[in-house]
Amino acid sequence: MKITSYLFLCIALVTFSCDKDKTTELSSPSAYLFTYFTGNGAGEEAIRYGISPDGYNYYALNNNEPIVASDAISTTGGVRDPHILRREDNKGFYMVVTDLLTKNGWSNTAMVLMKSDNLVDWSSTVIDIPSLYPEFSEVHRVWAPQTIYDEREKKYMVYFSMLETGSYDKIYYAYINDDFTALEGAPQQLFYSPTEKACIDGDIVEKGGKYYLFYKTEGERDKGIKVAVSDRLTSGYKPEPGNVDQTDKAVEGSGVFKLIGSDTYILMYDVYVDGEYQFTKSSDLKDFEVVDEKVSMNFHPRHGTIIQITQEELERLTEAFPSRDISPVLAVSGPGVKSGNVVIDSREKTIYVPVEPRQDVSAFTPGFTTLPGTAVKPGGPQDFSKGSIGYQLSFGGKTETYELTVAVDGNPVVQGYYADPEIIYSHKEKKYYLYPTSDGFNGWSGTYFKTFSSPDLVHWKDEGVILDLLKDVSWADRNAWAPTMIETRVDGAYRYYYYFTAAQQIGVAVSDSPYGTFRDSGKPLVSEKPEGVKGGQNIDPDVFADPKSGKHYLYWGNGFMAVAELNPDMTSLKKGTIKVITPDDTFREGAEVFYRNGRYYFLWSEDDTRSPDYKVRYATSDSPVGPLHIPENNIVIRKDEKNGILATGHNAVIQVPGKDEWYIIYHRFTRPKGEHMGSAAGFHREVCIDRLTFDAQGNIEEVTPTLKGIAVE
């Protein structure tokens, strides 16, 4: 009996030892790794890395540059659709990518198999389907490969879509050899769309003994991302009805991952036409709920995948691929913190935290979002009124000191993305009202307008949506841009006329209150370009009340500046008064007109709103309809590169009632992220206010844009 027990124990120990050789015990995951590419342009079809501490907020590694050279691993010089998988034995990682450079067209014949022990160093093998398998000699698309471990066969399987001449895209699969360098045999068909239309971007997830195949369909009314379910990995997939994506926009590249320590799955997908990425969550892989409000990224990914990683792997990645935007502290929060404007400089070891006016910084407790495993000292409230305080950040076995500054900043005046500001003082309400474009939508695709109120130009209250194109306007449903507003008296009562851009036309809406709700007139006020004008757009209105004549004028134009007198009803233009008064070739858009000391001032924006050099110039006149005189030095405001304030333009001007006190309201790129966003910064803008001054001759003195604004004057 004792001998038998001893032998049983020995066998058990041997078995355990053998299993130990096959599988390395994995530490608990603490973070996430996102592999992605960024677009179809030069250098964008390459593998990049992003990390996240929570599965929702992502930060680019390696300054959003490739982690491996595409031309070193591919035949075309470009790779797309990276799919990463942890090996079943926890001894390394596999990645597969599409071998495709789209500047040469959308046809390709190969994919790339990659393997790594450490997520840093990768070896690769190109698999060219037609050259390996003559039966697929007509294949001219091999797209979006992914891998999965087949528990039954004890092998890794790659699956991908292929298109042959005269057919449509279908999903195929093949097993991979033990060295992950070749396929074991010719691809076999795995799935095709029952509508016999294109079926691409497969993503298989195993849950509860069932396999869920997410895929994209094309060429049908309900195209989008669907799911098919099977009890077997390689066959028997039955499509579920409907789509699982939660948008009407064009989507592709679905990827599913599980949140650490949770039964929640995240389904994400590439909203590729709009340059967006949407996240949804589910517990059953059937019903999905959008969670975009929780998600942030400091990069713009295309079709990628996410895996969980350990603390050791996180530390290795941040050391191998350091990034200017990555430090042990990822974000800072606290009372009144302008979270979108926090500046964390990992090179200079500084953190700048702007807070709202009236915030007490003498006993301020910053909250930190950090990389997992980070220790932060000191804790509790600190006195920042006398300057910065050193914080010790310990991560990955080393401790660094960051100087943290908390400062009251007036700019931006409202948090969030807004642009093209207009401002009035309401004599009825005894308040200022700000009317911006709702920004942050790719391609300037916003559809609604809001207003904000303030008693002092410093402290602002969100008054909500005042006009929604989708609900309130019958003649346009897109591109809600650049409004202008005027308060008038009609039969002893106040009336408010709101002129706005929609679908590159100008409309007008009316209300008895500066905060709405506004009633649209039912048709565009300006829909045709002035006679003789061929280019440009009918956008960016500005309304002006001439204090000398009592007349009202409307100005507008992109590429040209037009003016017309408004009829007394304020909702129509006086016939025969349209005139083009473009000042010079620096005029782009954003006309703004005001009157001071017998002189009319005409301001406009030069350059493109996506350019850091977007700026404001001015001219003067003795009349509201010109001719215009352009001073020799006529710049009103331009960028301040030293302080990272860029693209200062499209302004309004406000005079404090009863005083010769003036302010300029303008937008800038969001700071600090805008500097690195490229053209996307042109629709991620913020509204700011600074003082506007004049010299003794009435010339506008150039404004230096500030962070402080007028909050601490």
- Give φ, ψ of 694 to 5 degrees: -130, 150
* The pLDDT value given to residue 16: 36
Residue 228 one-letter amino acid: A
Global pTM reads: 0.84
> Distance between CA atoms of 354 and 648, rounded to whole angstroms?
19
Q: Please answer whether residues 705 and 413 qualify as being in contact, where contact means their C-beta atoms are separated by less than 8 angstroms.
A: no
> Distance between CA atoms of 560 and 583, rounded to whole angstroms?
9
Find all residues with CB under 8 Å of 689, minimum gap 6, and list them. Answer: 410, 411, 413, 457, 663, 664, 665, 666, 709, 710
Burial 408-439 (b: 16+ CB within 10 A, else e): bbbbbbbbbbbbbbbbbbbeeeebbbbbbbbb
> Distance between CA atoms of 358 and 673, rounded to whole angstroms?
25
Residue 355: in which H helix or E strand, if any? strand 350-355
User: Counting Cβ atoms within 10 Å, is residue 218 exposed (0-12), middle (13-18) or buried (19+)?
Assistant: middle
Q: What is the mean pLDDT of the chain?
A: 94
CB atoms within 10 A of CB 592: 25
Strands 398-408 and 350-355, how do they pair?
Answer: parallel
3-state secondary structure (DSSP) of residue 708: coil
> Distance between CA atoms of 498 and 436, rounded to whole angstroms?
12
End-to-end CA distance of the chain: 91
Among 341, 359, 360, 363, smallest CA distance to 351 is for: 341
Residue linked to tokens 């769309």: 193
> Distance between CA atoms of 404 and 349, rounded to whole angstroms?
9
* The pLDDT value given to residue 26: 78
Among 567, 481, 472, smallest CA distance to 520 is for: 472
Q: Please answer whether residues 199 and 191 qualify as being in contact, where contact means their C-beta atoms are separated by less than 8 angstroms.
A: yes
* The pLDDT value given to residue 220: 61
Q: How many C-alpha atoms does 540 have within 13 Å on its Cβ side? A: 27
| Cα–Cα distance list, 525 to 246, 363, 504, 507 (Å) | 36, 54, 12, 5
Q: Please answer whether residues 207 and 231 qualify as being in contact, where contact means their C-beta atoms are separated by less than 8 angstroms.
A: no
Instruction: Tokens for 272, please give them.
Output: 């590729």
Among 191, 232, 188, 225, smallest CA distance to 211 is for: 232
Q: Please answer whether residues 79 and 111 qualify as being in contact, where contact means their C-beta atoms are separated by less than 8 angstroms.
A: no
Residue linked to tokens 């040209």: 560
- Give φ, ψ of 432 to 5 degrees: -90, 145
* The pLDDT value given to residue 14: 37
* The pLDDT value given to residue 21: 46
Residue segments in the chain with a per-residue pLDDT below the cut of 50: 1-21, 713
- Give φ, ψ of 548 to 5 degrees: -85, -45
